[in-house]
Chain A
């Protein structure tokens, strides 16, 4: 079993839709959590950190459930430019980061 698991998708949604991605992790020592987006053949870019109280950045909302070792990302009012692969990342305080294999999103007109 992988340390960080994501539904690979692909998720194909129309513009304006709301879509949610889930991620589970197995290392209970994980302390920091992030979502990155990666466009085809490009480097990952930080989308947002995930805090225990949940956090929102515009159309994006991230949630963390430490008891269930579960992280989510909600995208509202999807845009064509949101099409990408979304990577869930967990990190220990020692500095080791583990990435999921990503969930692919395609937003269609």
Chain B
């Protein structure tokens, strides 16, 4: 049973560029959430996708956008990259979206460095 997978594992971009990160959820999971984790901090919620729609959003600017595909995989897009966007980006999937308690399973993350 494959867990959550993310690609790429590492990425180096230049300020002002755009980046797309990808995530495949754990088998049987239909809800995908994205988080940004800066060094020394807990993961910060970016947004959550369920049934191909953004269901919840954290306090992130519109430069951060996403998409969920019919197979439940998801992409995170970040435009006009800033140095402060350098972080570990985590994808988490969870059990059927209508049912708490939302136990989430994380992928290994994509480490983004903006220079």
Contact = CB atoms under 8 A, between A and B. Distances in A.
A43 B102 contact: no
Interface string B48-87: 1010000110100000000000000000000000000000
Closest 8 A/B residue pairs (Cβ) = A99-B42, A32-B101, A43-B106, A101-B42, A96-B56, A91-B102, A99-B43, A32-B100
A102 B35 CA distance: 15
A94 B55 CA distance: 8
Nearest to A92: B56
B45 A43 contact: no
Contacts of A102: 42
A91 B33 contact: no
Interface string A15-59: 000000000000000011010000000111110010000000000
A98 interface: yes
B103 A43 contact: no
Nearest to A51: B101
Interface of A: 4, 31-32, 34, 42-46, 49, 87, 91, 93-102
B106 A44 contact: yes
B56 A95 contact: yes
Contact of A42 (B43, B44, B108): B108
A94 B54 CA distance: 12
A102 B103 CA distance: 18
B41 A101 contact: yes
B90 interface: yes
A49 B102 CA distance: 10
A24 to B, nearest CB: 14
B31 interface: yes
A102 B97 CA distance: 26
B67 to A, nearest CB: 17
A73 to B, nearest CB: 15
Contacts of B106: 43-45
Contact of A97 (B33, B40, B97, B105): B33
B25 to A, nearest CB: 14
